[in-house]
Amino acid sequence: MLSRERVTGQNCGRRRFRVVLVKPSHYDDDGYVIRWLRSPMPANSLASVYGLIDDCALRRILGPDVDIDIVAIDETNTRVRIDRIVAEMRANGNFGFVGLVGVQSNQYPRSLHIAKPLRAAGIAVVIGGFHVSGMLAMFDGIGPDLQEALDMGVTLFAGEAEGRMDDVVRDAAAGSLKPVYNYISDLPALEDAVIPFLPGNSVRKTIGNVTTFDAGRGCPFQCSFCTIINVQGRKSRRRGPDDVERILRKNFAQGIDRFFITDDNFARNKDWEPIFDRIIKLREQDGMDVRFLIQVDTLCHKIPNFVAKAKRAGVTRIFIGLENINPDNLLAAKKRQNKITEYRNMLLAWKAVGIWTYAGYILGFPNDTPESARRDIEIIKNEMPLDVLEFFFLTPLPGSEDHKVLTAKGAPLDPDLNKYDLEHALTPHPNMNKAEWENLYRNAWAIYYTPEHIETILRRAQAYGINILRLAQIILWFASSLAVEKVHPLQGGILRLKNRHERRPELPIEPVWQFYPWLAADFLVKHARIARSAWTILRIYRRVAANAHLPYTDRAMTPVSDEETQTLELFTHNRSARDAVDHARKIKTLTTGAAAESAA
């Protein structure tokens, strides 16, 4: 638990308003809270809300005699001791509130379980995040899940809190919190907004010296499975370069120099260039060796200077929502901007500057079958120079158009929100039954991360001058997370911690004689498996490193030639892939023809 208690000097007559911020985790399939000794990275949602409350404290918005203390807890790496929160709040006359922060749909049931005893003790509780925002953005009125919170006396916050936190804090201090604060149709500008921040000791409960921040919000595209456009909008709202510099310097001063910029599509942040220019200055003139992971789209390489400036700005990894290689599926999901004809050139543009590529691949689009998805993964392995690939179930997340449409149709949707984590089959699929879909998801990881393909990934990376020891470690993480820990790598961490009493209330508390021997056996089996995978990957790494002097190339590493569009499986595996190639060719002919005419 991390506390930022203010030094108040004289205590006489002063009061302390206590804010406990909890970023909840959720339950695994056995009903236990997912918590680690070290979680992968700090949550930007927690950093944003912490920054906003800290700003309220610094401005003393409750008056000169009231100090605001903030405690920030990320449940993915710290146990939430509800009994202690209740005792501390009680000792303070319940002058304060508990904020359940950045609550996703899969974290909503856990949030209610945390809220219940707090409300019973008379403590004010406010829930914010994508579930509340997504539901209020897409539906008129309050659904049963949100009503359950209201019935407990929990306050709901929808929309973004920049510029709105003063009201919440003042109302909480006056004991007059409203049931709902709904700012979903009034999104704030981010220029000069309070910056996200978490103190270093909170960041250090995660794996590396990496922290997260958003340089902007919103995305112009319209993918039907996406929640972001309905919650954060389609317009680019962004922080200025001065604020980005402040975020970097504040973290750098506490020894943190690696960042995940959480913008869902940094390439469509309208100020990507001034932001990169400022970071380039910090790196090249001020000697700040800061590095970044960013998320981009599959057309980003066509933006003039984008890739070159990303490299100079210290971007070392990019994440792309590749989603699928079947154009029919992409069209069905309104992901029209994803052009399979551009995939390889885009990946090669990043590779040419030595930047690693992560991509997300969604399983369960309407045209997928177990066979077609397996074949598609093999095509990716052979024909696309991708490093890390991660798989997700197509999920109707609350806040998305898919969820709204299916709800309106009365389609059967799994009622357990805890499962809305992109790792469960939640709706009937036209071509696969539930078991087939689940098998496909489990097998997809094994199909991609074979020892042979790991060797190919490392050979390709070495040819581009990428640090393959670091890449091998990340591959170990992604290749073994589901098989060993039974969770997606983005939900994984180092050393899983479980408490016998932290189980979904619907499930029984296991007796001591059953729980602990099982925990010990599980620990041993898991670590044996990790050791075996690590040994396999280490041997591959050594073999590849020993051949560093030998040139390496393969089909995936060469730019797409016109004649390859007739032979590559990526472009010929079905009719719509062939149509996509024909379409791209027509556009090229038309644009080069028009250019030739205007030149004449």
Which chain residues interact with ligand B12 by CB under 6 A?
25, 40-41, 43-45, 48-49, 76, 99, 101-102, 104-106, 126, 128-131, 133-134, 157, 160-162, 168, 212, 214, 227-228, 232, 262, 264, 397-399, 421-423, 488, 490-491
Alpha carbon 409 to chain centroid, angstroms = 29
For 185, residues 6+ apart whose C-beta sits below 8 A from its C-beta are 159
Q: Which is nearer to ligand B12, 228 or 580 (CB)?
A: 228
Residue reference for tokens 């890449």: 471
Q: How far is the CB of 200 from ligand SF4 (least distance, A)?
A: 30
Only segment of 70-78, 220-228, 463-471, 507-515 that touches ligand SF4 (CB under 6 A): 220-228
Segments in 393-499 forming alpha helices (H): 401-409, 434-448, 451-463, 468-480
> How many residues sit close enough to ligand SF4 to count as binding (CB under 6 A)?
11
Measured from the CB atom, the residue of 110 and 429 that comes closer to ligand B12 is 110
For residues 54 and 383, which CB has a smaller minimum distance to ligand B12 in the complex? 54
Q: Which of 224/254 has CB closer to ligand B12?
A: 224
Q: How far apart (Å, rounded) are the C-alpha atoms in residues 421 and 107? A: 9
Closer by beta carbon to ligand SF4, 231 or else 388 = 231
Q: Binding pattern to ligand SF4, positions 522-541, x when CB under 6 A?
A: --------------------
Q: Which is nearer to ligand SF4, 234 or 470 (CB)?
A: 234
State the pairing for strand pair 35-38/2-4.
unpaired
The C-alpha atoms of residue 577 and residue 340 are separated, in whole angstroms, by 8
Cα–Cα distances (Å) from 560 to 161, 203, 301, 353, 449, in that order, read: 46, 43, 15, 18, 25
Shortest distance, position 299 Cβ to ligand SF4, whole Å: 10
Site string for ligand SF4, 302-331 (x = CB under 6 A): -------------------x----------
Distance CA 83, CA 55 (A): 28
Cβ atoms < 10 Å from Cβ of 524: 10
- Nearest-CB residue to ligand B12? 128
Question: Which one, 80 or 228, has the nearer CB to ligand SF4?
Answer: 228
Among 156, 215, 229, 355, contact with ligand SF4 (rule: CB under 6 A): 229
Nearer to ligand B12, 385 or 489 (CB): 489
The distance of closest approach from Cβ of residue 104 to ligand B12 in the complex, given in angstroms and rounded to an integer, is 3
The least distance separating ligand SF4 from the CB of residue 501, rounded to whole angstroms, comes to 38
Tell me which of ligand B12, ligand SF4, none is bound by residue 126, counting a contact when its beta carbon lies within the kind-specific cut-off of 5 to 8 angstroms. Answer: ligand B12
Residue in the block written with tokens 């990320």: 74
Cross-strand bridge partners of residue 127: 100, 156
Verify binding: residue 221, ligand SF4, rule CB under 6 A.
yes
**Closest distance of CB 161 from ligand SF4, Å:** 21
Residue 157 CB-density burial (10 A; 0-12 exposed, 13-18 middle, 19+ buried): buried
* Binding partner selected for residue 223 from ligand B12, ligand SF4, none, CB under the kind-specific 5 to 8 Å limit: ligand SF4
Q: Residue 342 or residue 421: which is nearer to ligand B12 going by CB?
A: 421
Nearer to ligand B12, 145 or 378 (CB): 145
Does position 393 interact with ligand SF4 (CB under 6 A)? The reply is no
Binding segment toward ligand SF4, per CB under 6 A, in 8-16, 30-38, 226-234, 483-491: 226-234
For helices 512-546 and 468-480, the axis angle rounded to 10 degrees is 150
Contact with ligand SF4 (CB under 6 A) among 219, 310, 318, 380? 219
**Least separation in angstroms between CB 360 and ligand B12:** 9
The smaller minimum CB distance to ligand B12, of residues 262 and 341, is found at 262
Q: Which of 505, 502, 479, 501 is nearest to 492 (CA)?
A: 479
396 binds, among ligand SF4, ligand B12, none (CB under 5 to 8 A by kind): none
Stretch that binds ligand SF4, among 27-35, 216-224, 488-496, 539-547 (CB under 6 A): 216-224
211 interacts with, out of ligand SF4, ligand B12, none, CB within 5 to 8 A per kind = none
Mind giving me the DSSP string for 200-257?
HHHHTTBSSSEEEE-SEE--S---TT-SHHHHT-SS-EE--HHHHHHHHHHHHTTT--
427 binds, among ligand B12, ligand SF4, none (CB under 5 to 8 A by kind): none
**Residue 364 CB, nearest approach to ligand SF4 (Å):** 15
Partnered with residue 97 across adjacent β-strands are 19, 124
DSSP 189: P
CA 583 and chain centroid, separation: 33
Q: In a 10 Å sphere around its CB, with 0-12 CB exposed, 13-18 middle and 19+ buried, how is residue 375 labelled?
A: middle
Give the long-range contacts of residues 579-587, CB within 8 A, separation 24 or more: 579/327, 580/327, 580/339, 580/340, 580/341, 581/341, 584/339, 584/341
- State the nearest-atom distance from the C-beta of 345 to ligand B12, in Å: 26
Residue 228 binds ligand SF4 (CB under 6 A): yes
Please check whether residue 28 is in contact with residue 223, taking contact to mean a CB–CB distance below 8 angstroms.
no
Q: Which amino acid is at 192?
A: D
- Distance of alpha carbon 520 from alpha carbon 512, whole angstroms: 12
Which partner in ligand B12, ligand SF4, none is near 502 (CB below 5 to 8 A by kind)?
none
Nearer to ligand SF4, 264 or 402 (CB): 264
Q: Work out whether 297 is an interface residue with ligand SF4 (CB under 6 A).
A: yes
Which of the 8 DSSP states describes residue 319? E
Give whichever of 221 and 393 is closer to ligand SF4, judged by the CB atom: 221
Q: Are strands 66-74 and 2-4 parallel, antiparallel or unpaired?
A: antiparallel
Q: Which residues bind ligand SF4 (CB under 6 A)?
A: 219, 221-223, 226, 228-229, 264-265, 297, 321
